[in-house]
Amino acid sequence: MKISIERAALLDAISKAQSVVERRNTIPILANVLIEAEGDNVQFRATDLDIEVVDKAPAQVERAGATTVSAVMLHEIVRKLPDGALVSLSDDPAAGRLSVQAGRSSFNLATLPKEDFPVMASSEYTANFAAKAGDLKRLFDKSKFAISTEETRYYLNGVYMHVATGEDGAVLRCVATDGHRLARIDAVLPEGANGMPGVIVPRKTVNELRKLLDDDDAEIAVSVSETKVRFATPVVTLTSKVIDGTFPDYTRVIPMGNTRRLEVDAKEFAKAVDRVATVSSERSRAVKLSLDEDRLVLSVNAPDAGAAEEELAVAYGDEPLEIGFNAKYLQEIADQVDRENAVFMFNSSADPTLMREGNDTSAVYVVMPMRV
């Protein structure tokens, strides 16, 4: 194999591939990226056995072929090369070496045979549809903060993507929860997505997918089966196994009867929570909300550290209420609001609280209170 390629194109392709590679590997080949050159393209493939990323880049291919080389090392070398450099890669299978040359720099890297590289088995997908990158970005960005980190409840370690019934008919919905808070985000159901099986997309896949969604108007081809999910742009394909488990019935925990309505400027609210939480003890980080007519007092009382209080002007017309929350959960939920105002719906100090943006029901969040 012998190819010449622009540094920028090579860096872009290799950085998407290498981010999938696990830093600590017991299987040496999994630390490598498979480079395949053919026609006027070069393809980079990396995997951790659960996720596979394939990235294409245009190149001058003098001699077609394939090899595997350390993904992190190749990425580091290319990153440190000067802008605008033309990089040439040529491999010597007999010596087991890949030569990387750019200007006056040259590197010789150890390779492993391409036959050893595990390629993810292709599978039949039950649903194939196209979705706007902006829609997918919103679905996953607004829900991923609620993904659980508890390994024991592995079925909560991802975002549940499925077809559901919204207020105006069928929607594509993403839900994540860790038992303390929940995010439920809806988008218009793309054509062809109707028969899609519900799948739990793992956290790592959600983070890798985010890198493909920079251009809001790009079309992403989505394919879903019971065991795998695939997201593809014309250049990059991300295939991932899904979490094998049953996502709990989240509809039971979304309170529909909460009547006490608080409307507050989301940015101001998040900043105020952050300020008063400075004195709270690291472990509980509890913040108390005291609601009275058109007035909200945020307070923290940590016996060992001190106390803090801040008052905000809000729209609230119900009976007085005192309720406590974990400060981090409140901030993360308030940070999801794109518009100015967040609307909180309370029932009592012991019941889950619902939050949405204004009157928009396509993004709904639930947070459990705590004793303060």
Please give the model's pTM, rounded to 2 decimal places.
0.93
Among 43, 321, 51, 49, which residue's Cα sits nearest to residue 202?
A: 51
Count of domains forming the chain: 3
Confidence of residue 287 (pLDDT cuts 50, 70, 90): very high
DSSP assignment string, 303-364: TTTEEEEEEEE-EE-SS-EEEEEEHHHHHHHHTT--SSEEEEEE--TTS-EEEEETTEEEEE
The rounded distance, in Å, linking the Cα atoms of 313 and 297 is 9
* Same domain membership, residue 264 and residue 196: no
Indicate whether 45 and 158 sit together in one domain.
Answer: no
Find the mean pLDDT for residues 312-322: 96
Alpha-carbon separation of residue 229 from 50, 210, 265, 271 (angstroms): 11, 15, 38, 38
Mean pLDDT of 152-159: 96
Whether 283 shows a pLDDT value over 70: the answer reads no
Same domain, 86 and 172: no
Mean pLDDT of the chain: 94
Q: Which domain holds residue 141?
A: 127-252
Which 8-state DSSP code applies to residue 370? B
Look at residue 280 in the predicted model and tell me its pLDDT: 84
CATH number at residue 310: 3.10.150.10
Mean pLDDT of 356-363: 90
Measured between alpha carbons, how far is residue 202 from residues 95, 104, 150, 225, 243 in Å? 39, 43, 13, 15, 6
pLDDT at 310 over 80: yes
Nearest CA-CA partner of 164 in 119, 194, 121: 194
Mark which of 252, 282, 301 sits at the end of a domain. 252
Q: Are residues 247 and 260 in the same domain?
A: no
In a domain, 122, yes or no: no
Strand partners, 356: 343, 364
CA separation, residue 338 to residues 82, 202, 341 (Å):
39, 25, 8
Which residues neighbour 318 within 8 Å (Cβ) at sequence distance 6 or greater?
A: 259, 260, 261, 291, 346
Q: pLDDT: is 92 or 338 the higher one?
A: 92
Indicate whether 23 and 71 sit together in one domain.
Answer: yes
- The percentage of the chain sitting over the pLDDT mark of 70, rounded to a whole number, equals 99
Q: What is the pLDDT of residues 71-121, one digit of tens each?
A: 999 999 999 999 999 999 999 999 999 999 999 999 999 999 999 999 888
Specify the amino acid at residue 195: G
Whether residue 213 is found in the same domain as residue 301 = no
d(CA 267, CA 337): 8
pLDDT > 90: what percent of the chain? Answer: 88
Residue that terminates a domain, selected from 236, 252, 268: 252
Would you say residue 372 has pLDDT above 80?
no
Contacts for 342 with CB less than 8 Å, ≥ 6 apart: 263, 264, 265, 266, 269, 333, 334, 355, 356, 357
Give per-residue pLDDT as tens, 11-64: 999 999 999 999 888 899 999 999 999 999 999 999 999 999 999 999 999 999
Q: Is 43 within a domain?
A: yes
Inter-residue contact 189 to 130 (CB < 8 Å):
no
CB 174 within 8 A of CB 206: no
Residues 178 and 213 in one domain: yes
Q: What tokens were used for 191? A: 């054509």
The dihedral sign for the CA sequence 22, 115, 224, 360: positive
